[in-house]
């Protein structure tokens, strides 16, 4: 696999040519200073800085793909390196007083380099903000994915509570009603007992698809536990929620579900209750819903013995 550094070889080649060209111009126009005339402090400071900038360039090109931001950062660092490199060469080569272009080579690229670096860092900052936002979204999706039911493609009880809290907050801000529907299969334990748990799991998967087909696009269906489901109904009053609940109950009773073992039809029914939130907290609302379901189940037991 081609390394990042190899992808930028033309940039490095161009910088090498420019540095060597500056060095040759100095050698052709002047003469090498005797060792006694060398200023070791300037050599260490300017030469060391040039080496560090060259190291930064290598790290930049090795870690980043080609692109607008990389080009800005490279050009900025290259200008700074070239300026310091010319300063270092000036410590070894003496130029005649008539030569003035050396000052341009030493000082001219410096402000240009700082401007390009500033632009590059600014765009790098914007780029990093976008990456951070994507990472936050991925982390949120991963966290929410862990709150989904393993059997059905629905959120579990924890996901339900999270989304219900958000829905209640949004409803309070917009002064819009929110209602809930709870659906609990009747005699589901008998199906597990007579046909096996695998059949019960299959039934829950089919039931999930049935409920989703009978809900609106903005409704949210979650599996609370076992064969009990809860639907969050945004912008929905209690009367409309009761109508939707009745439709879900009718859909379950009308489902011609066949067992996978012998293909016989299994008669199905479900207890369904609906209520509207009335300045309730999340847990209070769910508690009211559970109480309503318990009463519906008790009424069903009394009716059929």
Question: What digits encode the pLDDT tens for the residues 279-304?
Answer: 888 899 999 999 999 998 887 765 54
Mean pLDDT in residue range 203-218: 90
DSSP 34: P
Task: Return the pLDDT at 185.
Answer: 93
11 and 74 in contact (C-beta within 8 Å)?
Answer: yes
Give CA torsion, residues 77, 82, 88, 93, to 10 deg. 180
Closest listed residue to residue 14, CA positions, set 68, 63, 79: 79
For tokens 């490095």, the residue is: 12
- Is 167 exposed, middle or buried (CB count within 10 Å of its CB: 0-12, 13-18, 19+)? buried
Q: Under a CB-based contact definition with an 8 Å cutoff, are residues 268 and 253 in contact?
A: yes
User: Angle, nearest 10°, between helix axes 157-174 and 282-304?
Assistant: 120
How many Å apart are CA 75 and CA 116, to the nearest integer?
A: 7
Over 50: is that where the pLDDT of 269 sits?
yes
3-state DSSP percent of the chain in helix, strand and coil, to 5: 65, 10, 20
Length of the chain (residues) = 305
Residue 269: strand, helix, or coil: coil
Copy the structure tokens of residue 176: 């819009």
Q: Could you tell me which residue, 4 or 171, shows the higher pLDDT? A: 171
Say what the pLDDT of residue 27 is. Answer: 82
Q: What is the mean pLDDT of residues 265-277?
A: 93
Determine the pLDDT at residue 142. 45
Check residues 100 and 209 and name the one with the higher pLDDT: 209
Q: Work out the burial of residue 113: count CB atoms within 10 Å of its CB; fewer than 13 is exposed, 13-18 middle, 19 or more buried.
A: buried
- pTM score over 0.85: no
Q: What is the pLDDT of residues 8-36, one digit of tens each?
A: 677 778 888 888 888 888 888 878 888 88
| Residue 164 contacts residue 286 (beta carbons within 8 Å) | yes
End-to-end CA distance of the chain: 74
| Least-confidence region, from 75-84, 102-111, 156-165, 223-232 | 102-111
Cβ–Cβ < 8 Å for 93, 24? no
The answer to whether the CB of 57 falls within 8 A of the CB of 74 is yes
167-to-84, 117, 162, 163 alpha-carbon distances in Å: 61, 46, 9, 6
- Quick: pLDDT tens for 123-172: 888 877 776 665 555 545 444 555 666 788 788 888 889 899 999 998 88
């Amino acid at each position: 696999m081609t390394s990042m550094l190899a992808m930028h070889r033309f940039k490095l080649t161009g910088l090498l040519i420019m540095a060597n060209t500056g060095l040759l111009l100095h050698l052709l126009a002047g003469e090498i200073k005797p060792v006694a005339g060398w200023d070791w402090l300037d050599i260490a400071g300017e030469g060391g800085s040039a080496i560090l900038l060259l190291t930064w360039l290598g790290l930049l090109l090795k870690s980043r793909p080609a692109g607008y931001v990389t080009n800005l950062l490279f050009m900025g660092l290259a200008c700074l390196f070239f300026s310091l490199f010319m300063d270092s060469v000036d410590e070894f080569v003496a130029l005649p007083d008539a030569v003035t272009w050396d000052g341009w080579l030493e000082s001219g690229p410096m402000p240009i380099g700082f401007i390009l670096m500033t632009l590059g860092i600014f765009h790098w900052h914007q780029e990093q903000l976008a990456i951070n936002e994507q990472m936050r979204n991925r982390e949120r999706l991963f966290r929410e994915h862990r709150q989904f039911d393993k059997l059905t493609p629905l959120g579990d009880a924890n996901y339900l509570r999270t989304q219900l809290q958000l829905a209640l907050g949004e409803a309070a801000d917009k002064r819009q009603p929110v209602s809930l529907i709870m659906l609990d299969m009747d005699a589901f334990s008998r199906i597990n007992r007579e046909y096996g748990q695998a059949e019960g799991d299959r039934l829950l998967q089919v039931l999930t698809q049935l409920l989703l087909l009978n809900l609106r696009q903005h409704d949210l269906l979650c599996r609370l536990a076992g064969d009990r489901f809860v639907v969050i109904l945004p912008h929905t009053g209690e009367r409309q929620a009761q109508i939707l609940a009745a439709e879900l109950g009718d859909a379950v009773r009308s489902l011609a579900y066949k067992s996978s073992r012998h293909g016989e039809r299994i008669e199905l029914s479900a207890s369904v209750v609906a209520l509207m939130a009335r300045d309730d907290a999340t847990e209070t609302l769910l508690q009211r819903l559970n109480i309503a379901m318990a009463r519906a189940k008790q009424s069903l037991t009394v009716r059929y013995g």
